[in-house]
Chain A
């Protein structure tokens, strides 16, 4: 089947999609967006998290056909239009929250969504919001730092605007 949808603001089209393919597979193998990662492919680790119509989902659990005519935003779409890193992306680098980085794309999308809803989350809010994203390298402490840093920068930016 053919699936057409919007990925990071651009229309995309995938042909010969087998009915059982996931959105994750289509993104990674058919439309050249491998940023979303394939760690468990059963919705347990959060590495493949993308926005679907503005809501973070595990793209491995979304059938390709479900995204027909819908909007997908992946980690590749988190940077500014100028090409500069987005605020959450930069915070993850600055805080040392990226080690192997395999969990990072999913965490970035989930953190972006968290801060959209709650610009100043408490530590418990952060832990709850990110509890579906496994990281095996960092011990999460620097991820906490990154989210706190992104929150502070986001609030400072909002205050200055």
Chain B
């Protein structure tokens, strides 16, 4: 046996801990170098010899019948290669993530402001723009169905989708609904058990993902009659699944490669330009690039559902929750998108991370002629968190109990049950997160004598010099599920190849995971390093040549695709060890791969991986499925519906100028349990980014829709936080492993966006004493000038 014992156990451990770039370390992004050089190719950077530019004509009306669409003048514009309408679609005219109710191009009516009606391909974007303006559309403009009352009374106001048009389901303009009852529900008898009752109506505006990289991509017609699409998306395979029937192509002829993605946050879950560019490319036989302008981006993707909510909580005198009742109405807009799943989340997570003996919930998503809403970071849990956390503050005030103590008194923990009946079977340190966030040091008070006016709300415009400022502090905690729920077999695929390149063992990781900025590519390399004991890892471009990775959403990618990379790497490792056993007859049971060598705890280094591999590559593919879940019962909401839960607690400190109604968030602290931080630098970055989007929702971000029309489709008018609006964000992470998850990890990305908004509103309430029940909080809410 060619075993050489050259190292003792101590050295072995030294090798094992020698890579700071394995899991738990914070190696730098593999794409970082290209990104800071400006050489990373985002989807809008795609370029092809002889490519054309595609553009869509979009409806100025939220609801209208299309009497006629005349493309003849547009076709005459020099430089125009094609003008297409729904008549040019070779296959199915509809697509959709969950319900195929959305036409790829409007057929006989438009249902929302900005719906695509026709497409142009031209040699220059300006030519395309001019041609789009030459398309003549005759509309019969109809009164849009936009309010909850209108939606729920279709006999009077009509249907967004006439009953005969429904693709698969829906009635009375209700896209989806989910009820939930646990304990005794909410009855007069249950209400009588409570000493104190608080209730309130709450409203959440329509938030936008506002990723910076516009929807874009390049479609290249292929010789086999298929299409090659380079695109920014969150889920390559689900795009293909929706595209192929519309293009009348078999899936294998629709090949997608991920182009650089400039942020996503849920806004790229639905198709945007994928079908349009492909139709134009197939029609013209030329590569077609589509890049949305910012206004088109606001029209071209789904937003966070605006919500109207009613909450009622009953508690005993000493603060124990007795019951909770809620109704959540989400405006889903014209098409279903992810509304059914958003409703499921709102219903099942809508009472927060609290133990409540008796619960009732009714969540619905409406069809309306407002812009379509679907996935956005937090996915149905965000809206509800504003409701239940506002209620917790109200209840604490009513009872004279500290708001953090009240939350801790009712906090769920491992072993407790969700209102869905699902047992929490991994750590749920809700009370501890709250305690830690409360114990963090507070920022110093505002020093009005030595004021830098840049610290003061409104001062940069010279409207204030610090007078009229009051400070407030608010707390919150939230709950979010990880992964796709309700029985969805949410799997991911990874291929790992190990070979010798340049005298070094090198691992290659190939998945279809969309890297949207979250850092999955970094983590995949860390996992491969850790499992295979190598330093060099390359990440293969994500494409549809490998199995689906599922969506980069629902905080699931590290869990799911990270888990798949782990499985594939473990399989490669076993194959390599088996090869060694066959060749060398090793009989040890403690063989591992460390530092480029095959080692044994007892026998030391057995052989170098380079020698063992030789010319041969080991290339294996594995799928990672999470444990099964079930759909919630329609009436009772009961069921093991979620894979994993994640929790974040926040403290906001705000300064409010009560004269101007302006808010400056002074500090926004987050404490989150991440199970295991595979890459602490990235984890903290995700949390800081997540709470900043929550800050946006709390005080500035809203798509203003009036009579179905979007009034602020630009970065001039839709405000996202700048670096001046964003405070220091201290973050503390807990690592309490989830026994069911790879490495014990918990999905990270969404929980901070769910939880942080209510803390900011609570802080503004604390500063001003004003009962705020709508977000974003606007100056007129604070100055009484509404």
**Contacts between the two chains (Cβ within 8 Å), count:** 179
Contact B729 A141 (CB under 8 A): yes
Q: How many angstroms between the C-alpha atoms of A34 and B259 in the bound complex?
A: 14
Contact B41 A102 (CB under 8 A): no
Contact B519 A99 (CB under 8 A): yes
Contact B26 A40 (CB under 8 A): no
Interface segment, one of A61-69, A90-98, A152-160:
A90-98
Contact A137 B263 (CB under 8 A): yes
A135 to chain B, nearest CB (A): 7
B727 to chain A, nearest CB (A): 9
Partner of A127, one of B28, B37, B724: B724
Contact A108 B716 (CB under 8 A): no
Partner of A98, one of B29, B213, B690, B726: B29
Q: B538 interface residue, CB < 8 Å from A?
A: no
A31 to chain B, nearest CB (A): 12
Partner of A89, one of B37, B40, B126, B293: B37
Q: How many angstroms between the C-alpha atoms of A96 and B265 in the bound complex?
A: 19
Partner of A99, one of B260, B689, B691, B722: B689
Interface segment, one of B42-50, B60-68, B192-200, B248-256:
B42-50
Known: A18-B124, A40-B715, A138-B685. A89 touches B212 (CB 8 A): no
- The contact string, 1 if C-beta is below 8 Å from chain A, for chain B 416-443, is 0000000000000000000000000000
Contact B28 A137 (CB under 8 A): no
A51 to chain B, nearest CB (A): 13
Chain B interface mostly helix, strand, loop or mixed? loop
Q: A55 interface residue, CB < 8 Å from B?
A: no
Q: B167 interface residue, CB < 8 Å from A?
A: no
B51 nearest in chain A by CB position: A29
- The contact string, 1 if C-beta is below 8 Å from chain A, for chain B 702-721, is 00000000000011100011
Please, which residues of chain B bring their CB within 8 A of the CB of A75?
A: 36-38
Please, which residues of chain B bring their CB within 8 A of the CB of A90?
A: 36
Q: B692 interface residue, CB < 8 Å from A?
A: yes
Partner of B37, one of A18, A21, A79: A79
Contact B723 A130 (CB under 8 A): yes
Known: A98-B32, A134-B722, A138-B685. A124 touches B454 (CB 8 A): yes
Q: How many angstroms between the C-alpha atoms of A107 and B544 in the bound complex?
A: 33
Please, which residues of chain A bring their CB within 8 A of the CB of B212?
A: 37, 39, 45, 47, 100, 102-103, 134-136
Please, which residues of chain B bring their CB within 8 A of the CB of A126?
A: 723
How large, as a class, is the contact surface on chain B?
35 or more
Partner of A85, one of B33, B265, B726: B33
Contact B213 A139 (CB under 8 A): no
Q: A9 interface residue, CB < 8 Å from B?
A: no
Known: A34-B38, A93-B28. A136 touches B210 (CB 8 A): yes
Known: A20-B126, A35-B38, A35-B39. A45 touches B685 (CB 8 A): no
B162 to chain A, nearest CB (A): 38
A7 to chain B, nearest CB (A): 12
Contact A136 B720 (CB under 8 A): yes
Partner of A38, one of B36, B214, B681, B690: B214
Contact B261 A100 (CB under 8 A): yes
Q: How many angstroms between the C-alpha atoms of A127 and B459 in the bound complex?
A: 14
Please, which residues of chain B bring their CB within 8 A of the CB of A33?
A: 38
Please, which residues of chain A bring their CB within 8 A of the CB of B264?
A: 100
Q: B302 interface residue, CB < 8 Å from A?
A: no
- A36, A96, A108 interface centre (most CB from chain B within 10 Å): A96
Q: A133 interface residue, CB < 8 Å from B?
A: yes
Q: B106 interface residue, CB < 8 Å from A?
A: no
- B262, B518, B691 interface centre (most CB from chain A within 10 Å): B262
Partner of B688, one of A76, A94, A139: A139
Please, which residues of chain A bring their CB within 8 A of the CB of B139?
A: none
Partner of B36, one of A74, A93, A128, A144: A93
Q: How many angstroms between the C-alpha atoms of A39 and B292 in the bound complex?
A: 9
Q: A105 interface residue, CB < 8 Å from B?
A: yes
List residues of B (511-529) whose CB comes within 8 Å of A's CBs.
Answer: 516-519
B651 to chain A, nearest CB (A): 15
Q: A143 interface residue, CB < 8 Å from B?
A: yes
Contact A42 B715 (CB under 8 A): yes
Q: Which residues of B contact A (CB under 8 A)?
A: 26, 28-29, 31-33, 35-42, 44-45, 47, 124-126, 209-214, 260-265, 291, 293-294, 452, 454-455, 460, 516-519, 681-682, 684-685, 687-693, 714-716, 720-724, 726, 728-729
Contact sample, A vs B, 24 pairs, CB 8 Å cutoff:
A18-B124, A21-B126, A25-B125, A33-B38, A35-B38, A36-B38, A37-B213, A38-B291, A42-B716, A75-B36, A75-B38, A76-B39, A99-B685, A100-B264, A124-B455, A128-B724, A137-B689, A138-B688, A138-B689, A139-B685, A139-B691, A139-B729, A140-B688, A141-B726
- Contacts A41-B293, A44-B715 given; 5 further ones with Cβ under 8 A? A39-B214, A100-B264, A134-B722, A136-B212, A140-B688
Q: List the 4 closest pairs (A to B, CB-CB), nearest first.
A: A35-B38, A100-B517, A102-B262, A139-B688
